[in-house]
Amino acid sequence: MKLTDTLKSKEVKNAYWIITGRVVQMVLSFLVSIFTARYLGPSNFGLVNYAGAYVAFFTSLCTLGLNSVIIKDFVDNPDEQGKAIGTTIVLRAVSSLLSSIMIVGIVSIVDKGESVTIVVSALCSIALVFQVFDTINYWFQSKYQSKVTAIAGLIAYIATSAYKIILLILQKSVVWFAFASSVDYIVVAICLFQAYRTHDGPKFQFSWEKGKYLLSKSYHYILSGMMVAIYGHTDKLMLKQMLGETSVGYYSLASSVNLMWCFVLQAIIDSLYPTIMSLYNNGNKEAFERKNRQLYAIVIYVSIFVAVMFMLFGKYAVVLIYGAEYEPSADILKIIAWYTIFSYLGVARDAWIVCTEAQKYLKYIYISAAMANVILNLIFIPIWGAAGAAVASLLTQILTGMVLPCFIKQMRPNVKLMAEAFILKGIK
């Protein structure tokens, strides 16, 4: 059997397990989120998501950019996998603890006197500490064993859903719901660690030399990740300060509805990532570029189809499922749906960037995009409210994915691949 046929078989099986696991998770999440959103109402729902925006913002800092390079390191240095995982976990654990402290400090200043907001943010930030164990997930991905991580994620979703259902039955306050995301990551961490031991994963080791090496490859992603976080989550933070938590609730619901299907794109990207790495390492440039085009084309046209569905039926779905009080979310959803195309093209681009070692150019793109996003939010939020934040995010993603890279010579080949994917050129 040819290498490409073997890789194709593995990536299909890999994607099957990821998608199957995510489908079940999506159904559970969808059902529970309906009752949760209805119970909390736009204001409290917005408060939880406001705190979650801080967590998401600092997540990019906590990963230290290592998640973007560790799979390649597994492939390049198979004898040092235990050292790579152990070192990454330690480095991320330190940064996560510091980030949790910073979140509480920032919220205490920005939202001074709002004790509930501070407590909710503190409870949400606990998730950062346990996120470090998703490093193990990348080890399973590198071996095309996403069946394991899919099962771990499913168990975590069941536990988190059960936790939320209990809170709904007991009619607990918003503070209890703030801890839900932490429950998710705690269970995932336990499951992944146990699965790693069961599959005889290499012993964890910590090495300063390995840490320095990984950081030398990933440090470009740290600043880039922070800039991505700024234009990815500043909208919620600015909406809270400019219009209040209710607007954050409308915006967050629209984002949540849109994200419910994005696991399909993430599963495909995760499955093709090792294949793209292998094709590049084997010097097969033609196959490498074709595989990238195929990935981009899938992201583009699946996203367009879903966006059109949301344009046609989004309002009816939101009102029917979440209630009339969330109707303002429908207009926001129609805009955010188009955001997905460019957002996930950026995610899919990571494999090409790592292979071609173009990481150092990302900081210029993302710094420019972050500045543009803040300015666009300042312009559009006063005009269109939460829908204005959605417009700002859409324009920022277009700038990041297709416009700004054109001004960097080394990034133009990737823009060309994306453009060819749009017109379905060279994907066969």
Residue 18 covered by a domain: yes
User: Quick check: 155 and 178 in contact, CB under 8 A?
Assistant: no
In a domain, 427, yes or no: no
Q: Domain count for the chain, please give it.
A: 1
Q: What is the pLDDT along the chain (428 residues), one digit of tens a residue?
A: 455 555 555 555 555 655 666 676 677 777 888 889 899 999 999 999 899 888 888 887 787 777 767 777 777 777 777 788 888 888 888 889 999 999 999 999 999 888 999 999 999 999 888 888 878 877 777 666 666 777 777 787 788 888 889 999 999 989 999 988 788 888 888 888 888 888 777 788 888 887 788 788 777 677 767 776 776 778 888 999 899 889 999 999 998 888 878 878 887 888 788 888 888 888 888 999 999 999 999 999 999 999 999 999 989 989 988 989 999 999 999 999 998 899 899 889 988 998 888 878 888 888 888 889 899 999 999 999 999 999 999 999 999 889 999 999 999 999 999 999 999 998 87
Tell whether 428 is covered by a domain: no
Q: Could you give the CA distance from residue 297 to residue 280 in angstroms, rounded to a whole number?
A: 19
The answer to whether residue 115 sits within a structural domain is yes
Q: Which of 92, 88, 60 is nearest to 210 (CA)?
A: 88
- DSSP letter string over 382-422? HHHTHHHHHHHHHHHHHIIIIIGGGGSGGGHHHHHHHHHHH
- The confidence score (pLDDT) of residue 218 equals 76
Residue 181 has a pLDDT of 78
Say if 130 falls within a structural domain: yes
Residues in contact with 243: Cβ distance below 8 Å, sequence separation at least 6, in sequence order: 381, 385, 386
108 found inside a domain: yes
Query: 293 phi and psi, to 5 degrees?
Result: -60, -45
For 70, phi then psi, to 5°, come to -70, -35
- The answer as to whether 119 is a domain residue is yes
Closest residue by Cα to residue 121 from 101, 107, 131: 107
What single-letter amino acid sits at 100? S
- 125 lies in which domain range? 3-422
Q: Strand, coil or helix: what is 200? A: coil
Residue 288 in any domain: the answer is yes
